[in-house]
Structure 1
Amino acid sequence: MNDVPKPPDPLCGPMKAMSPGVVDFLFRQLVTGAPPEDTQWRREGTVLAEQVPGAELARRLADTDLDSLTPMELFEYVRASQRLVAWAEQLKERAVAQYCSEQPARTPGSS
């Protein structure tokens, strides 16, 4: 009956979603006065937000460690994955249209 109340979980709210690596990165950015975004990405090549949908974007998304992304980078990751899904959906629609437009005489197995 006289249970001692539990202290609040220190990892709740926004901090629960942020990995220690992200927190460390943001702290270093704050100390140096740099922006919270990783501007190094722009110097190293095409950022995810500008990557053309296709095989390279799929590879980059698959190789990305989500735990190391800042909240803004994670947002861009989600937007890039949505672009990739839309691109793949267009490929599928073109293939279905091609399949449906073929004459019955061209179906596999008919002579």
Structure 2
Amino acid sequence: MVDFLFRQLVAGRPAEDVQWEQEGISLSSQPEGAELARRLAETDIDALTPLELFHYVRAAQRLASWAEGLRQAAVGRYCGSPAD
């Protein structure tokens, strides 16, 4: 991490890695669903900067909440009155 910060500062760039934000939809903007789950699963969290790791955690929390909503809806349907 220190090496990354040093290279950024020597090159006159900000200490944070902002290039990943310019490469497509960020994790914080990715809608909940299969694509977000795939991106989270394929991410090497050891390679993330602290800011990227923060966004990763937030995205994982959003995905978990979304999945919990799906589970609750399915349980409600399963436990509901039988269909005709």
Q: One fold, TM greater than 0.5?
A: yes
1:102 aligns with 2:81: yes
Aligned residues: 84
**What is the aligned counterpart of 2:52 among 73, 82, 89?**
73
Instruction: Assess if the C-alpha contact under 8 Å between 1:37 and 1:73 holds in 2.
Output: no
Query: What is the alpha-carbon distance in structure 2 between the residues aligned to residue 27 and residue 60 of structure 1?
Result: 29
Deviation at residue 47 of structure 1 after TM alignment: 0.6
RMSD: 1.7
Output one character per residue of 1:65-87: Cα deviation in whole Å (capped at 9) or x when no partner. Answer: 11111111111111110000000
Q: How does 1:83-98 map to 2 (within 5 A)?
A: 83-98=62-77
Which ranges of structure 1 fall in alignment gaps of 5 or more residues?
1-21, 107-111
Aligned to 2:28, what secondary structure does the other structure show?
A: helix
Matching residue's letter, 1:85? A
Which ranges of structure 2 fall in alignment gaps of 5 or more residues?
none
Other-structure match for 1:25? 4
Matching residue's letter, 1:45? G
Query: What is the alpha-carbon distance in structure 1 between the residues aligned to residue 65 and residue 36 of structure 2?
Result: 13
Identity %: 63
Query: What is the alpha-carbon distance in structure 2 between the residues aligned to residue 25 and residue 69 of structure 1?
Result: 11
Other-structure match for 1:16? none
